[in-house]
Structure 1
Amino acid sequence: MRYEEAVEYILDIPKFTKKNEPSHTRQFLRCLGDPQEKFKVLHVAGTNGKGSVCAYLNAMLLSEGRTVGLFVSPHLVKMNERIVINGEMITDESFLDIFQFVLEKVKGMEAKGLPHPTFFEFLFGMAVTAFARAGVEYAVLETGLGGRLDATNTVEKPLVTAITSIGLDHMAFLGDTVGQIAFEKAGIIKPEIPVFYADTQEESNRVIEQRAADLGAPCKKIGKDAYEILGIRDKHIAFSCVNAYYGDTTWSLNNIGAYQPGNAMLALEIMRYVLKENSHPKLWRQALRDLKWEGRMEEILPDVYVDGAHNVSAVEGFLRSVPQGEENIILFSAVSDKDYEEMIACLCRNLNTAFYVITLIEDKRAAGMEELQRIFEKHTTKPVIVKESLKEAFSYVLQNQEGRKIYCLGSLYLTGMIKELTSSSK
């Protein structure tokens, strides 16, 4: 079997399986030899920012000379991005080798009448198998859609759990209130295992704290007053920490997202707990400054940014990051199960935009361009241009840039497609 065939098989999984209960994932892991028990797990859930927090934790652990596995989703361009060992994306050869091992175990499960793992379960099984084989000391795991019923939540005794900001997303699966969604995310909290969470709003805070109290889990809230944003310079956002532990030091992130210092602060506090007296914050400072987390207010060409904002709260975070008063250009697309009307309304209300360009993403859930155009024209009097081909849409915004900043957002699928387009043209 070739690598490309392995990827195709995994992509085809949703066509012949359905969501499985956590008990199924546990059976699956047992068939793999319980690889998830061979390292210390840092488990991260949340609506927005969980990938960034995972990336920051990974970078800081590596700076301390620790061996680390990182499991994140979705991937932007290549499936291997989901499985990272000691800072390196898994190779095609290793991917194929682990895939074949996992597939053999899955066929054995099916022979016993057990369901096939889901797309996410299969990749999670591959990731923890890869980490166990590599002998990593730590694994940083990002949940998929929720938390309580997530495949990653079958790790019974993580070292620590973390919950990033909570917002309205995946409401068809997680509930239509912030409290209901927080309940699903808080499902990763384990008895007596410390949980760190980002202060979002009273409703979600209350749910998380109650769940922690019920389970006797030490709970620490990372409030917005824990840090102060100092400004943006040389494409880096600078912030200071209020806690004396970090000293009178300016921290810097290789990003201009106003939402990222909060994510970094959450990761810093987790690191303090994980390494305790063996920690070296000076190393963390350099690691955070050097880390480039793709797809989050990432400058891919001069004054051209991609941002993975794909729900209302993420768009609000994006808006806090855009310089006010400057005229810009927006390239937008979305999937149909998001609240794209409110996302569009937020953009139109709060940005000084010369024109909007709508395109189509390559996904069966893609929102229709005519529908997106109708909503944009409902909320703005600025020109709304429709280009079915992403290549044509991206060429159009570049040709009409005229000194303005271009922001591409609305879906991580769009971000991945643009990154693939720009990398293939280099």
Structure 2
Amino acid sequence: MTYDEAVDYILNIPKFTKKNSLEHTRQCLRFLGNPERELKVIHVAGTNGKGSVCVYVEAMLRSEGKSAGLFVSPHLVRMNERIRIRGEQISDREFVRVFEKVMEKVREMERQGFPHPTFFEILFGMAVTAFADAGVEYAVLETGLGGRLDATNAVEHPAVTAIASIGMDHREILGDTLEQIAAEKAGILKKHVPVFYSEGAEASNRVIEERAAGLGISCKKIGKNAFENLRIEHKNIAFSCTNAYYGTTAWKLHNTGLYQAENAVLALEVMRSLTGGSGRPHLWREALARVTWEGRMEEILPGIYIDGAHNVNAVQRFAESVHARGPHRKAVLFSAVQEKDYEEMTACLCRSLDADFYVVTHLEDKRAMDAEKLAEAFARYTDRPVEVRKSPREALSYVRKHQDGRTVYCLGSLYLAGMLKELAREL
């Protein structure tokens, strides 16, 4: 089997299977020999920032000389991005090897009358199998959707759990209040396992605290006063930690998103717990400064940035980061999928960014929002020009042609970020 054949099979899984129970995922793991039990798992949920927290924790683990695997989603360009071992994406050959190993067990499951695993179950099974086969000590796992019913929550004994920023997203599945969404995220909490979370709205904070109290576990809130953003440089943000444990030297991230300091401090507290307070923060500082996280305020071409902001909360925080860079001329390229609150996202962008012009486009996805409807939404909130382009390729071509010294921000969907990143590689 080739890599492309394996990827094609995985992408077509949603056409012939449905969401399975968490018990089904546990059954999948049993057929695989429970590879997750050989790993010290760091399990991270949240609406926004959970992928960044995972990447930061994994980088700091490696700085301490630990071997670690990283499982994140979605991918931007290639599926290998979801599974990383010791800081490297798994190769095409390794991807196929692990896929075939997992599928052998899937066929055995089906012969015994169990349903076929879902898209995410297959990838999760591949990840923990790859990690166990590689002999890594730690596995940093990002939840897919929610937490309570997510396939990654089949891990019964993580070493630590963490919850990044919580906001309104996936309301059709997780609920339409912060309390309901927070309850789904807090579903990853386990007895005897400490949890760390980023301070949010009082409603979501309370849900997490009450869930932790009910389990009788340590629960630490990382408050807004745990750090201070110091300055934004060309491609970096500097911040300081208020906890003396981390010293007085400024910390630096290779990113200009203000929200990344919050994610980094949450990751720092997770590391402090994992090392029992005997870690080496000077190594963590160096590791964080080296991290590059694709699709998060990433410059893909001169003056053209992509960002994965795809819900109202993320767009608001994105706009704050753009403002912090000081006065400059701006343009926006935007797209979204149908289930997102595109109306409020467009309103936020128009109120906050004061761009010279906006470009909307249609994603190459069955869930894509119609570009003409997106343009109508923008027109309700701005009198600046709004251009419609049929594809991300045409949209990127347009903003490059009309850039004229402006900084172009591309957001609204991780699918859009991935497509533009791939197109930029051709230029």
- Shorter chain as denominator, the TM-score bin is over 0.9
Task: Give the 5 Å matches for 1:212-227.
Answer: 212-227=212-227
Q: Which amino acid aligns with 1:80?
A: N
Q: Which amino acid aligns with 1:68?
A: A
Identity score, percent: 64
Q: Hey, what does 1:394 align to over in structure 2?
A: 396
Counterpart CA distance in 2 for 1:21 and 1:220 is 30
Instruction: Measure how far apart 1:277 and its partner are.
Output: 4.1
Question: Is the CA contact 1:326–1:352 (under 8 Å) kept in the aligned structure 2?
Answer: no
Instruction: Measure how far apart 1:65 and its partner are.
Output: 0.9
Q: Deviations over 1:103-131 (max 9, x none)?
A: 11101111111100000001000000000
Q: Hey, what does 1:68 align to over in structure 2?
A: 68
Q: Deviations over 1:305-336 (max 9, x none)?
A: 10000000000110110035433000000000
Q: Hey, what does 1:234 align to over in structure 2?
A: 234
Residue 288 (structure 2) pairs with residue 288 (structure 1): yes
RMSD, matched Cα: 0.8
Counterpart CA distance in 2 for 1:136 and 1:71 is 13
Instruction: Measure how far apart 1:257 and its partner are.
Output: 0.2
Aligned residues: 425
Q: Hey, what does 1:314 align to over in structure 2?
A: 314
Q: Which amino acid aligns with 1:388?
A: K
Counterpart CA distance in 1 for 2:244 and 2:60 is 19
Q: Hey, what does 2:124 align to over in structure 1?
A: 124
SS of structure 2 residue aligned to 1:212: helix
Q: Hey, what does 1:366 align to over in structure 2?
A: 368
Residue 252 (structure 2) pairs with residue 252 (structure 1): yes
Q: Deviations over 1:269-289 (max 9, x none)?
A: 110010124311001001111
Q: Hey, what does 1:162 align to over in structure 2?
A: 162
Q: Which runs of 5+ in 2 are unaligned?
A: none
Instruction: Measure how far apart 1:351 and its partner are.
Output: 1.2
Residue 127 (structure 2) pairs with residue 112 (structure 1): no
Moved over 3 A (4+): none
Residue 186 (structure 2) pairs with residue 186 (structure 1): yes
Question: Is the CA contact 1:325–1:352 (under 8 Å) kept in the aligned structure 2?
Answer: no
Q: Hey, what does 2:384 align to over in structure 1?
A: 382
Q: Hey, what does 1:333 align to over in structure 2?
A: 335
SS of structure 1 residue aligned to 2:59: helix
| TM-score of the pair, normalised by structure 1 | 0.99
Q: Which amino acid aligns with 1:245?
A: Y
SS of structure 2 residue aligned to 1:141: strand
Question: Is the CA contact 1:49–1:164 (under 8 Å) kept in the aligned structure 2?
Answer: yes
Q: Which runs of 5+ in 1 are unaligned?
A: none
Question: Is the CA contact 2:42–2:138 (under 8 Å) kept in the aligned structure 1?
Answer: yes
Q: Hey, what does 1:2 align to over in structure 2?
A: 2
Question: Is the CA contact 2:362–2:370 (under 8 Å) kept in the aligned structure 1?
Answer: yes
Counterpart CA distance in 2 for 1:97 and 1:137 is 21
Instruction: Measure how far apart 1:301 and its partner are.
Output: 1.7
Counterpart CA distance in 2 for 1:35 and 1:246 is 34
Instruction: Measure how far apart 1:390 and its partner are.
Output: 1.4
Question: Is the CA contact 1:316–1:346 (under 8 Å) kept in the aligned structure 2?
Answer: yes
Counterpart CA distance in 1 for 2:19 and 2:308 is 25
Question: Is the CA contact 2:258–2:317 (under 8 Å) kept in the aligned structure 1?
Answer: yes
SS of structure 1 residue aligned to 2:366: coil
Q: Deviations over 1:144-191 (max 9, x none)?
A: 001000000010010000000000000010000011000000000001
